[in-house]
Structure 1
Amino acid sequence: MRYLLGWFLVSVCLASCSPNNVTEDAGLRKLLEAEKLDGVIGVFHNLSGDFVLSDRKVFRDSAVVPGSSFYIVQSMVAIETGRLKDEQSDINGTTLEQAFKADSLHFFQELAGRIGKDTLQRWIDTLGYARRYDTPRIAQLDRFWIDNSIRVTADEQLGIVKKLYFDQLPFQRRTHAIVSNMMLVEDSTEYKLAYKFSEGSNTDGTRILWIQGWKEIRQHPHFFVIQLRTREEGVDLKAAGKRIMDQVLAGFLP
């Protein structure tokens, strides 16, 4: 668990992450088994500091391609560096918000070119992004997040959304707020729900789905991450992911 919130290579959570606050829950494993999918599910209750995981080792050690989940980071870099002003800034008629929600590969390839290789590499290094196994290096600027040049764990992915929520990344508060708002899906008097679905594939042909986000209840956030993997072409990963997420929200969060 030492890599949770591993950005900057040091985390304030290191001291609090111990066997006493980490639980492996068979109920979470059964959600994966019911869909006949590999992967891992993790939940972090911020108020109590408790982690509930389907598998501790997979959560910590299973690194796969980030796919379009990298757009969370890329969007923040674009806004922070002024390449884009805000979520309504557009490229060829498509706004950042539209592209973010639609996982537009073409948009973010164009945006990577506008940001530039050196700038993106510097931010990846500053953030300590995808550092679980190696030091990520940008090879092809327009596809390094989908060509397996970098890999992230569920542990790291949960850390990303937690630090985003608490404005703990090295960006301005405004940048955090814009990207957080792009992830917001439901906003009611009872709760706020924010998440992002992201897809990718490993070099062996395994298809990957990431879901990461939070549910805020009475100003107390609960963070979750779901990593799904399959080599079966006929499986609708998004539909399976939505079913699993709904059950996680209903059965494992307040």
Structure 2
Amino acid sequence: MKYLAFCVIWVYSANIYAVEQQIDSLFKAHNAIGSMLIESADGTLKYQYNIDSNASFVPASTFKIPNTLIILEEGLIKDTSEVITWDGIVREYAPWNKDQTLKTAFQFSCVWCYQRYAKKLGTVKYLEYLKAFGYGNQLTGRDVTRFWLDGDLRVSVQDQIRFLRKLDAQNLPIEKRHISTLKQLMLSKSDDKIKVWSKTGWSGKDGWYVGYLVSNKQTWFFAHHMVIKQRSDLALRKQLMMDVLKLLKIT
């Protein structure tokens, strides 16, 4: 019996090692540096790559996930179709240079839209929500309009998944209708085989692709942080995650 148990553990460990090697090969093929965490909803399966338990990063636009909930809960915007009037300032990213809605602001990661609401919310209110959500290190910094981009807020890949689990389970101090609205905004793919709720993020060298999916009636949570060395790396945030999910036969 002990011999059999040893064999099972050895085979399992060998399989995990083989998967890690394949993931490493994917990253090296693209000259990419990053870390990934993928977990089944029931917690019985976990795949991780290059995880440093002490590493945390600015969440960049992945913070639009909790930020959208806060804005809705505080009644700063009524629904996904309400117009957010453009301030007329021309910015580098063309899709931002026009009126927005919450739907387009989330889709195009419109920084000025969320900064407008951040000014109305203020630091004290954000600190209350960060604590209530248990989000990252729960810090902001001096500039309430930039704390998720280059301020003091930090999250790890583990933090990202912990929050996504709360979101999926509706285990947050937020009205359920607002959580439902956010999930509609996050839905990035939906067909007969798979549904994906996700968000990208980018600030300086920090790139993200986080979310969760349902495939074959199973729910999986994922978080990918990677080092952005040049703009062409941005496509790899999502691409590498989807390649790994396919490798693991999750999708």
Q: TM-score range by the shorter chain?
A: 0.7 to 0.9
Cα separation, 1, equivalents of 2:129 and 2:56: 20
2:225 paired residue number = 227
1:208 paired residue number = 206
1:12 paired residue number = none
The 8 Å contact of residues 40 and 226 in structure 1, kept in 2 or not, is answered as yes
Matched letter for residue 94 of structure 1: Q
Give the Å deviation of 1:99: 0.6
Paired residues in the alignment total: 221
Q: Residue deviations 1:169-192, cap 9 Å, x none? A: 221211111111111111112221
Is the aligned partner of 1:190 residue 2:193? yes
Q: Which runs of 4+ in 1 moved over 3 A?
A: none
Give the Å deviation of 1:48: 5.5
2:168 paired residue number = 165
Q: Greater Rg, structure 1 or structure 2?
A: 2
Gaps of 5+ in 1: 1-19, 202-206
Question: Equivalent of 2:76, from 83, 100, 104?
Answer: 83
Cα separation, 2, equivalents of 1:160 and 1:237: 26
The 8 Å contact of residues 47 and 220 in structure 1, kept in 2 or not, is answered as no
Matched position secondary structure for 1:90: coil
Distance 1:36 1:117, change over 3 A: same
Q: Residue deviations 1:1-57, cap 9 Å, x none? A: xxxxxxxxxxxxxxxxxxx9xx5622222222222122101110124621100134x
2:132 paired residue number = 126
Question: Equivalent of 1:143, from 123, 141, 146?
Answer: 146
Give the Å deviation of 1:218: 4.3
Matched position secondary structure for 1:185: strand
Matched letter for residue 69 of structure 2: M
Is the aligned partner of 1:96 residue 2:99? no
Distance 1:170 1:79, change over 3 A: same
Distance 1:119 1:48, change over 3 A: closer
1:54 paired residue number = 49
Instruction: Name the structure with the higher strand share.
Output: 1
Matched letter for residue 241 of structure 2: M
1:66 paired residue number = 59
Matched letter for residue 55 of structure 1: N
Give the Å deviation of 1:98: 0.3
My pick for the range that moved more, 71-80 or 169-178, is 169-178
Cα separation, 1, equivalents of 2:82 and 2:127: 23
Q: Residue deviations 1:119-154, cap 9 Å, x none? A: 1121112222222xxx51331111111123111101
The 8 Å contact of residues 121 and 138 in structure 1, kept in 2 or not, is answered as no
1:28 paired residue number = 23
